[in-house]
Structure 1
Amino acid sequence: MTAPETATTAEPGLTPERDAQLARLENRLDVRLRDRRLLDLALRHGSFGQEGRGGRRESYERLELLGDAVLNLVVCDHLYQRYPGATEGELAKLRARVVSEPYLARIAQRLDLGRYIQMGKGEEKSGGRTRPSMLADVTEAVLGAVYVDSGFGVAHAVTTRLLQDAFDELEQPTEDYKSALQELLQERERRLPRYRISSVEGPDHAKIFVATVEVAGRILGEGKGPSKKQAEQAAAQAALQLLHRRARRAHR
């Protein structure tokens, strides 16, 4: 769903130009806030308006704290549902791959958040608009603004959309055990491994595939994963470990 076009009258407290900027950002986020001033606040660095003034304007820091909590809850909920067999430690490692400064900065770059940030001249000159740490902070602040304005359901939907690429990347194995196993077997036995999905466990929304790998009718390994590819990679890893153990025993 694309957010509706902005009204011709600017939000109270916002200039027409700023209001139009924020409306474009809402369209990028695919959301329409009731109070666009929250989005404005989420994009205001602490240095903005300080130069030459005695007071300190409210910045995005409080919304950032709230957005960080929203982000972590959405990610943990997704991982808990998607990987029912994972341990607490494994879930924590997966979360760290998603909730990271580099990835949040990438989201900000994709949304072009840098151009919307309000900051002081000194911060601007020092490269704040493209600094990964600031971009990551602003991404969290924007999520906080969506939560305050529209509640957790909308914030959950927006966060999930923004993180979909990261969730998809988690499905890709970090090492290619299948290729390593194939090379080893061709070198030792001149044979190719064969993979088979032996069973599927869990509910439809969180399936766990069980794969086996065999050579000449001998099962060398079994593995599980949330996709067929990951299950086969896990089976290949188990087979490699078995073959390496056998090789070590043979050389004793």
Structure 2
Amino acid sequence: MVRALEPAVHDRAMSRSKVKDRGALEERIGHHFADKDLLERALTHISAASGGARVNSYQRLEFLGDHVLGLVISDMLFRAFAKANEGELSRRLADLVRKETCAEVAKAIDIGPQLKLGSSESQAGGRLRATILADACEALVGAVYLDGGYPAAEGFVERFWKERMLKPLRPLRDPKTMLQEWAQARGLPTPTYRELARTGPHHNPKFRIAVELPDHAPAEGLGASKRAAEQAAAAAMLSSVGVAADKLDV
């Protein structure tokens, strides 16, 4: 007969497992924390914060990490694209710091299983939610910066963003920007977007968005976020007026 572990023994086993998991995460990001509390806070969602206090969650670190990430990537872009003008650098920066990119990096690091979530958030699929993954990724950048300074944060960002910087996966001008430029060049107002429907479970929603312009039929798009659905709707309208998604002839 196998006896259950005594509570104290079970707690020690869980603690060792947690330390091992955190160590594996540190290996993946290339930084070992001197202050382990910073790492814990970077992985703590507000739903699991002690006393429900926001200061005990990753939100402050997310704020800091967002700005550190922007600075590091701006520096990387400035050095890598010596002939690019300010507009191109800004568009590249926006693509690299967007929530979708941060969520992709979080998945590459496998942050999800490491997150500390409240029971309801965890049961709702919070470990897979793009917004939570992106926020935690930014918080991790902020934690690395506080623990190791700018060089540590730079090393972390370069490890996971450099390839994305050199081989962009998306057009520099996204469909929404392209559609707005196309409309303005023809004296039309800024396109308006309207949510038509939201379906699916809370942790994996699907949005249907319509974009409208005067004298043009509305176009619709689907996406896992409102932003993605808006981009899809803009791409659909561009297609309907004969504009390719990778260029804009005004």
TM over 0.5: yes
Alignment equivalent of 2:138, drawn from 127, 137, 140? 140
Aligned to 2:65: 67
| One-letter amino acid of the counterpart of residue 68, structure 2 | V
Match of 1:26 in 2: 26
TM-score, normalisation: structure 2 = 0.59
**Per-residue CA distance 1:74-127 (angstroms, 9 max, x = gap):** 111111112222222111111112111111111111111000000111111222
| Contact 2:46–2:53 (Cα < 8 Å) also in 1 | no
Change (3 A) 1:171 1:59: closer
Corresponding residue to 2:156 among 147, 155, 158: 158
Change (3 A) 1:36 1:89: same
Q: Is the 8 A contact 1:48 1:57 kept in 2?
A: no
How far residue 55 of structure 1 moved from its aligned partner, in angstroms, is: 6.0
How much is the aligned-residue C-alpha RMSD, in angstroms?
2.6
Q: Residue 88 and residue 122 in structure 1: after superposition, are their counterparts in 2 closer, same or farther (change >3 A)?
A: same
Q: Does 1:45 align with 2:45?
A: yes
Q: Which one-letter code corresponds to 1:154 in the other structure?
A: A
In the other structure, the counterpart of 1:107 is 105
The answer (yes or no) to whether the contact 1:48–1:118 under 8 Å persists in 2 is: yes
Matches for 1:177-196 after TM superposition, within 5 Å = none
**1:15 equivalent in structure 2:** 15
Identity over the aligned pairs, expressed in percent? Answer: 36
Q: Cα distance 1:78–1:39, how it changes in 2: closer, same or farther (>3 A)? A: same
Equivalent residue letter for 2:166:
D
Number of matched pairs: 161
Change in CA separation of 1:170 and 1:55 when aligned onto 2, cut-off 3 Å: closer
Counterpart of 2:35 in structure 1 is 35
Q: What is the letter of the counterpart of residue 17 of structure 1?
A: S
1:90–1:123 distance in 2 versus 1, CA, 3 Å: same
- Write the letter of the residue equivalent to 2:129: R
The AA in structure 2 aligned to 1:113 is I
Decide which structure has the larger Cα Rg and report it.
Answer: 1
Counterpart-to-counterpart distance in 1, 2:151 and 2:100? 26
Q: Specify the SS of the correspondent of 1:118.
A: coil
What's 1:169 paired with?
A: 167
Aligned to 2:95: 97
**Offset at residue 49 of structure 1 (A):** 4.9
Residue 155 (structure 1) shift: 0.8
Looking at structure 1, the residues matched to 99 and 132 of structure 2 have their Cα atoms a distance apart, in angstroms, of 9
Instruction: Check the 8 A contact 1:22/1:36 in 2, yes or no.
Output: no
Displacement of 1:26: 0.5
- SS of residue paired to 1:158: helix
In structure 2, the partner of 1:131 is 129
Deviation at 1:54, TM superposition (A): 7.2
CA contact (8 A) 2:46 2:58 kept: yes
* Kept after mapping to 1: 8 A contact 2:64/2:142: yes
Deviations along 1:139-182, one digit per CA (max 9) or x if unpaired, are 111111111011111110111111022112139988xxxxxxxx
Say whether the 8 Å CA contact 1:45–1:119 is kept in structure 2. Answer: yes
Between stretches 159-168 and 136-145, larger displacement belongs to: 159-168
CA–CA distance in 2 between the matches of 1:105 and 1:90?
23
- Structure 2 residue runs of 5 or longer lacking an equivalent are 1-13, 173-250
Cα–Cα, structure 1 residues 163 and 129, in superposed 2: closer, same or farther, change >3 Å? same
Query: SS in structure 2 opposite 1:33?
Result: coil
- Deviation of 1:73 after TM superposition, in Å, equals 0.4
Structure 1 residues 144 and 57: CA distance shift in structure 2, 3 A = closer
Change in 2 beyond 3 A, CA 1:171/1:114: closer
